[in-house]
Amino acid sequence: MNIVVCVKYVPDAQADRSFTADNTTDRASVDGLLSELDEYAVEEALVIADANDGEVTVLTMGPDDAATAIKKSLQMGAHKGVHILDDAIAGSDSVATSLILSSAIRKIGDVDLVLTGLGSTDGGMSVVPAMLAERLGLPQVTFASEVTVADGSVTIRRDGDAAAETIKASLPAVVSVTDQINEPRYPSFKGIMAAKKKPVDTWSLADIEVEASQVGLDAAWSTVVNVEQRPPRSQGTIVTDEGNGGAELADYLAAGKFI
C-alpha cells in the first residue's frame, strides 16, 4: 500500500508571530516546525502501513526550512519524502496549495491513500483535503476519529456533537484525521539516525508541471487589505461586595448582554 501524507511547516504557535509588508505571515523571523495537527496524520499513516505492508511518503511545499517537517516525519518512521521547493510558491492560498499538492501526488503515482491533518495551525481553514479530492477525482472521507483500511476500502468514524457517523469509501481516497485519532509517537534515537539515510526528493514547479502564474500571492483568490496588532488585554472590572455585589454583577452581565 502506497500512502502519501501531506504535511506543513508552520510558525511556532508559541512565538510572537507577525506579518510582512505584503500582509502575508512572516515565516522567516520565527522558528518553525511540523504542524502539530499533521503529526496525527503521520502517525495514522504509519499504523496503517504497518498493518498493510505499506510505504509512507511525506509531501510538503515551501521554502528551504520546510524540509524540517519532512525530517520530523522521517524520524517518526515515514519511509521517504518529497519537498516542492520553488520561489514562486510564496504567498499561495488554499486553491494554489491544492493544485501544487495534487500535481505532486500524481507525479508520485500509484497512491492508494492520501492522508492529511485536520487543518494547518497557521491557517486553520480545513479546506485543502476537499480540494485535493476534487482535483484528484477521489472520494473524500474527512474529520476521522478512527480509520480502518480493509478489502480495498477505507472506513472512518466521524464524531459529532450529538452522534457518530460511519463513512466508507473505496480506495484510493483522501482522508483527513482529527487530533482525537491517536497519540503521535516521539522519534526514537534509532529513528533519528535512520532518517538521515532516507531519500528525500526536491521538485520544482516545473517538475510537477505547474505554471508559476497559477500560484503565489498574485494568483491568490483573496487579498489581505490590512493587518494590525491585537490590542493588549485591558484590566478587568473589580466588583467590591458591600452588600450590593450581586446586583452590580448582574448589571455588568446585563450590560454585556450575557444575561
The two beta strands, 113-116 and 146-150, are unpaired
Residue 15 has pLDDT above 80, yes or no: no
> What confidence score (pLDDT) does residue 67 get?
95
In DSSP notation, the chain reads: -EEEEE--EEE-TTS---B-TTSSB--SSS-EEE-HHHHHHHHHHHHHHHHTT-EEEEEEESSGGGHHHHHHHHHHT--EEEEE--GGGTT--HHHHHHHHHHHHHHH---SEEEE-S--TTT----HHHHHHHHHT--EEEEESEEEEETTEEEEEEE-SS-EEEEEEESSEEEEE-TTS--PPPPPHHHHHHHTTS-EEEE-TGGGT--GGGSSGGG-SS------PPPPPPPPPP---SS-HHHHHHHHHHHTT--
Amino acid in position 67:
A
CA distance 68 to 26: 17
Task: For 168-198, write each residue's pLDDT tens digit.
Answer: 999 999 999 999 999 999 999 999 999 999 9
CA distance 181 to 157: 10
In this prediction, residue 118 has a pLDDT band, given cuts at 50, 70 and 90, of very high
User: What number is the average pLDDT over the span 28-37?
Assistant: 84
Contact 91, 189 (CB under 8 A): no
Q: Cβ(27)–Cβ(63) under 8 Å?
A: yes
pLDDT higher at 20 or 137:
137
| pLDDT tens per residue across span 198-210 | 999 999 999 999 9
* Number of neighbouring beta carbons within 10 Å of residue 106: 13
Pairing between strand 153-159 and 164-170?
A: antiparallel
Is the pLDDT reported for residue 109 higher than 90?
A: yes
The answer to whether the Cα torsion of 216, 217, 222, 227 is positive or negative is positive
The pLDDT score that the predictor gives to residue 126 is 87
Q: For residue range 39-92, what is the model confidence (pLDDT) as tens digits?
A: 999 999 999 999 999 999 999 999 999 999 999 999 999 999 999 999 999 989
How far is Cα of residue 220 from the mean position of the Cα atoms in its chain?
19
Other beta carbons within 10 Å of 212: 15
Of residues 121 and 217, more confidently modeled: 217
φ/ψ (deg, to 5) at 56: -110, 125
Q: Which of the two residues, 148 and 17, has the higher pLDDT score?
A: 148
Grid cell listed for 79: 519511509
Question: What tens digit of pLDDT does each residue of 136-154 get?
Answer: 999 999 999 999 999 999 9
- Structural Rg of the chain based on CA atoms: 22
Mean pLDDT, residues 221-231 taken together: 83
Closest CA to 122 of 226, 38, 44: 38
* C-beta of residue 167 within 8 angstroms of C-beta of residue 179: no
